[in-house]
A = this chain, B = another copy of it.
Amino acid sequence: MSNYSYQDLYQFSHSVFIKMGCSEADATQACETLLSADLRGIDSHGVARLTGYVRLWEKGRINASPNIKVTYETPSTAVVDGDAGLGLVVAPFAMRVAMEKAKNVGTGWVSVKNSNHYGIAGFHSLLAAQNDMIGISMTNASPLVSPTFSKERLLGTNPIAIAIPAGNEPPFVGDFATTTAANGKLEILQRKGEPVPQGWVQDKDGIDTTNAFGVKEGGALRPLGGSRLHGSHKGYIMGSVVDIFSAVLSGANYGPWAPPFVSFMDPVSDPVGEGLGHFFGAMRVDAFRPATEFKEHMDNWIQRFRSSTPVDSEQPVLIPGDPEREMEKIRMEQGIPLLQPVVDDLKEVGKKFGIDF
């Protein structure tokens, strides 16, 4: 495990995106989106994925100079065609369209087709929260999750992020996969050779398993809830809603047709739409009540919840977004730790493009 400064990782990633053929502006946006994951402690979605994006580009599945555009709209809605661009760039474009519509009519809602993986959901929702708007961000993803009662993989981990601005308090930022546990947590237990808790994974026959390799061996992740008795049908509903909002509304591939992120798996031969889909929402808080009033009450909400009596005096009650914000502060100062396999991967990408890592 070695530490790298944000600036160094930024410069390296920027050079890689430029070598791929991204414009200066797109390379900058892609770095900001990608590295926000490393800063916020969601290591699975950060610079560790850079080589994945490169490999998809090599396969011709990512277009480094896309013509991203609005193809359908009303005063409060739009569909954006990502032109097979980096989701890291397509998503902020689409969120800004939503924010522009919110400026005009109170809220904006944008469904995106023909995109690729977009980094962490939370980054995009925060763009709105920085502008006195509630930001909503979701995406569908490679199928790894079985609906309740099914043994097929039909949904991705389909995350949802919701960022809500406050006044003196930092914003509320909820950002979560609609599964019991995200794939990144499985990988940690695989590396340690430890079992996973019940309710995370089912085997290829659809039976609950504690085998950390259960998904790799033909099983699936379980929707949030973990079992019917514990409400997995609710996680299944949420994952489905993300899929439908992101892909059925926009004209992207949904459900089992969603293209895989890994380059060694080809997309299905009978697509039902174009690329991957996302969905964004922006709601001006002053479209409901004066912004100062909203923020005062939001501060009060946050303070009341944060100061609530904890079960364990050493583990205070958290506001969604607290752990990631704390991590961001630490990593900006102390650097970002990368595992050796990630470092090796980045060195290889560097060699390919003649850039030192």
Say if the beta carbon of A111 comes within 8 Å of chain B. Answer: yes
Cβ-defined contact, B318 with A148, below 8 A:
yes
Cβ-defined contact, A150 with B254, below 8 A:
no
Say if the beta carbon of A79 comes within 8 Å of chain B. Answer: yes
Per DSSP, are chain A's interface residues mostly helix, strand or loop, or mixed? mixed
Which residues of chain A from 273 to 318 have a CB within 8 Å of any chain B CB? 273, 283-285, 287-289, 293-294, 297-298, 300-301, 304-305, 308-312, 315-318
Say if the beta carbon of A230 comes within 8 Å of chain B. Answer: yes
Decide: A154 near B304, CB < 8 A? Known: A77-B106, A234-B224. yes
Say if the beta carbon of A72 comes within 8 Å of chain B. Answer: yes
Decide: A304 near B230, CB < 8 A? Known: A74-B106, A240-B172. no
A312: chain B residues within 8 A (beta carbon):
149, 206
Minimum CB distance partner of A237 in chain B:
B174
Say if the beta carbon of A331 comes within 8 Å of chain B. Answer: no
Cβ-defined contact, A315 with B149, below 8 A:
yes
Partner of A225 from the list B72, B224, B273 (CB cut-off 8 Å) is B224
Say if the beta carbon of A53 comes within 8 Å of chain B. Answer: no
A127 CA to B318 CA, complexed, in Å: 37
Say if the beta carbon of A170 comes within 8 Å of chain B. Answer: no
Say if the beta carbon of A229 comes within 8 Å of chain B. Answer: yes
Q: Give residues in A with beta carbon < 8 Å to B.
A: 72, 74-77, 79, 104-107, 109, 111, 134, 147-152, 154, 162, 164, 172, 174, 176, 178-181, 197, 199-200, 202, 205-207, 224-226, 229-231, 233-238, 240-241, 243-245, 248-251, 254-256, 272-273, 283-285, 287-289, 293-294, 297-298, 300-301, 304-305, 308-312, 315-318, 320
A316 CA to B225 CA, complexed, in Å: 19
Besides A152-B309, A248-B297, 4 other CB < 8 A contacts? A75-B75, A174-B238, A174-B241, A251-B293
A149: chain B residues within 8 A (beta carbon):
310-312, 315-318
* 30 A-B residue pairings within 8 Å (CB atoms): A74-B105, A74-B284, A75-B76, A76-B105, A76-B106, A76-B107, A77-B283, A77-B288, A106-B109, A107-B107, A149-B318, A151-B310, A152-B308, A164-B241, A172-B244, A174-B240, A174-B241, A176-B237, A179-B231, A205-B311, A206-B310, A225-B225, A230-B230, A244-B298, A244-B301, A248-B298, A250-B288, A254-B297, A256-B304, A273-B297
Decide: A311 near B248, CB < 8 A? Known: A107-B107, A304-B255. no
Cβ-defined contact, B162 with A241, below 8 A:
yes
Q: Tell me the minimal C-beta distance from A182 to chain B in angstroms.
A: 9
Number of copies of this chain that the complex holds: 2
Partner of A237 from the list B229, B235, B272, B320 (CB cut-off 8 Å) is B320
Partner of A311 from the list B75, B151, B225, B320 (CB cut-off 8 Å) is B151
A289: chain B residues within 8 A (beta carbon):
72, 79, 249-251
Decide: A77 near B107, CB < 8 A? Known: A149-B318, A237-B176, A244-B164. yes
